[in-house]
């Protein structure tokens, strides 16, 4: 059976269709549920094998990007989400979804559910929308980035600068192998500390990242695709590989055939 993926959306979410499509291409079934529907019936979260928090501008990013959605989740759905964590459900938060996960406290430690990191205004205080290089940390525990090394993904954010509460948090993230991906040293687009573009939880199952892997699931998505070699074009796009990795993990864990 195909793994069942829950896509959580609310007012202002605008990347849910792309995220759903990426999971479907990777071999999963998807259901998109509005936040209000989940609040009315939180038990349905237990039906899903994977959970996705898509990008966009939830609630218009009023107060701060992802803050309102994170608060609603924290006060009304934190327990069923933490139950999913205990079941070993892979989760991904992309861009606004990453902002939600850190403000909700599911990253960097879902069991503590305390905010210790955030995504602040870009050092260059404007909205950035371009393709940026990504480098996978060779020591990371992240299941989503397995088999990937360096590649490009598009970014689209005004509040993407990864910062931590103190230097000890960065040290812990490195020691626990929770740094998933970084921007190249010479092309850090938003001023993130240690060039961090994405982190995972201590198990490697929960990933938050600012770049958009769901926007690179076909060779033709890349702006330079006509100039790429046939070999590169025939390879699995880096963005799609994120979702294949998560789906494969669930299938292997459940003893299902691919």
Could you tell me the two tokens for 149?
A: 């090394």
Range of the domain at 193: 4-256
* Catalytic-residue membership of 21: no
- The closest alpha carbon to 89, from 141, 41, 38, 51, belongs to 51
Note the pLDDT tens digit of each residue in 129-181: 999 999 999 999 999 999 999 999 999 999 999 999 999 999 999 999 999 99
Catalytic residue among 15, 142, 200, 214: 214
Stated as kind and residue range, the H or E segment containing 120 is strand 117-120
Catalytic residue among 95, 142, 157, 222: 95
3 state DSSP class of 142: coil
Catalytic residue among 15, 157, 159, 212: 212
How much is the average pLDDT of 50-73? 96
How much is the average pLDDT of 195-217? 98
Q: What is the CATH number of the domain that holds 150?
A: 3.40.50.880
Could you tell me the two tokens for 77?
A: 């759905």
Rounded CA separation 238/243 (Å): 10
In the structure, what pLDDT confidence band is assigned to residue 257 with cuts at 50, 70 and 90?
A: very low
* Catalytic-residue membership of 95: yes
* pLDDT greater than 60 at residue 256: no
* Catalytic-residue membership of 200: no
Note the pLDDT tens digit of each residue in 13-47: 999 999 999 999 999 999 999 999 999 999 999 99
What percentage of the chain exceeds 90 in pLDDT? 93
- pTM of the complete model: 0.96
- Of 9-13, 124-128, 182-186, give the lowest mean pLDDT range: 124-128
Note the pLDDT tens digit of each residue in 83-127: 999 999 999 999 999 999 999 999 999 999 999 999 999 999 899
Domain count, the chain: 1
CA atoms in the 13 A half-sphere facing the CB of 55: 20
User: Average model confidence (pLDDT) for the chain?
Assistant: 96
């Amino acid at each position: 059976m195909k793994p069942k993926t829950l896509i959580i959306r609310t007012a202002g979410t605008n990347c849910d269709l792309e995220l759903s499509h990426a999971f479907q291409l990777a071999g999963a079934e998807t259901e998109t549920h509005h936040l209000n529907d989940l609040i009315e019936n939180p038990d349905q979260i237990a039906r899903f094998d994977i959970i996705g928090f898509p990008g966009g501008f939830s609630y218009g990013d009023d107060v701060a990007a992802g803050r309102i959605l994170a608060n609603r989740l924290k006060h009304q759905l934190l327990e069923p989400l933490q139950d999913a964590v205990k079941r070993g459900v892979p989760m991904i938060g992309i861009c606004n979804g990453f902002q939600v996960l850190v403000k909700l406290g599911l990253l960097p430690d879902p069991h503590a559910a305390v905010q210790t990191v955030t995504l602040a205004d870009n050092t260059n205080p404007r909205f950035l929308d371009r393709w940026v290089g990504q480098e996978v940390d060779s020591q990371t525990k992240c299941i989503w980035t397995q088999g990937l090394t360096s590649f490009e993904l598009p970014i689209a954010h005004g509040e993407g600068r990864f910062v931590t509460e103190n230097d000890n948090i960065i040290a812990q993230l490195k020691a626990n192998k929770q740094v998933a991906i970084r921007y190249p040293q010479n092309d850090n687009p938003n001023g993130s500390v240690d060039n961090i573009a994405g982190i995972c939880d201590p198990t490697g199952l929960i990933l938050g990242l600012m770049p958009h892997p769901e926007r690179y699931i076909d060779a033709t998505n890349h702006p330079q695709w006509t100039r790429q070699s046939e070999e590169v074009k025939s390879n699995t796009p880096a963005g799609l590989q994120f979702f294949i990795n998560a789906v494969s993990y669930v299938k292997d864990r459940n003893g299902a055939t691919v």
